[in-house]
Structure 1
């Protein structure tokens, strides 16, 4: 797998930052071990390159699947899934760590490999539904 070395403008140079959903990406959050297992299943299905996936080590231990803007709407998502999107009267923020240096409690489960690559939403949904 190639590692994306050039920094995309949505990845912070250091530490971590919140990014507004609906600009560069939306996100789907699945908490705990279920989210980690899902991320690893997507990696297996995609030959090790599922797209950018962020995990948190605190609280709910959320796993954030960065998907294309608008790709989560008009789909039936299983219970326990949180969609982070933007819309009329609604704004969500997605935590994003830097590629290097201290970023606790966030880290990349799977790093971005290309500037515009995102997790494939339909593949994510299919994998979620197969694990219910």
Structure 2
């Protein structure tokens, strides 16, 4: 992958905060639940779920990046936090494609310009996983 393939919002090194709702919206899921959602999403998409950022420290959040403005089209269940166009600014950390990006990294390959996680498929997977877990 060349730097021309990357969206302009992906930093060349380290990581940077990006305002959600501009270049992408993000759906955040915590810990092993986020990994489980990603696992099922990858199965449904032949291993090409789209851009997913993982935090490797703290809450171990998984951020699924969807097209800007699409998060408001869905009723996200408890356990899935929406970062998109909002009354207040919401930022998401975006890592560079390689190098030292701790505590963030691309859980899947870095994004290609114009490619996102499919919000409808993501919503179906998250709803199935978070709304049907045993108590």
Q: TM-score, normalised by structure 1?
A: 0.91
The reply on whether 1:102 has 2:106 as its aligned counterpart is: no
Deviations 1:84-124 (A, max 9, x none): 1123x311101100001001110111123521100010100
Contact 2:50 2:111 in 1 (8 A): yes
Distance 1:125 1:28 in 2: 9
CA RMSD, Structure 1 to Structure 2 (Å): 1.3
Contact 1:25 1:69 in 2 (8 A): yes
Offset of residue 83 of structure 1: 0.5
Q: Aligned to 1:110, what secondary structure does the other structure show?
A: coil
The residue correspondences of 1:1-132 to structure 2 (distance < 5 A) are 4-6=1-3, 7-87=6-86, 89-131=87-129, 132=132
Contact 1:49 1:113 in 2 (8 A): no
Higher helix share: 2
Distance 2:12 2:20 in 1: 19
Contact 1:28 1:64 in 2 (8 A): yes
Distance 1:101 1:61 in 2: 19
Which segments of 5 or more consecutive residues in structure 2 lack a partner in the other structure?
A: none
Contact 2:26 2:82 in 1 (8 A): yes
Offset of residue 129 of structure 1: 1.5
The more displaced of 27-36 and 108-117 is 108-117
Q: Which runs of 4+ in 1 moved over 6 A?
A: none
Q: TM-score, normalised by structure 2?
A: 0.89
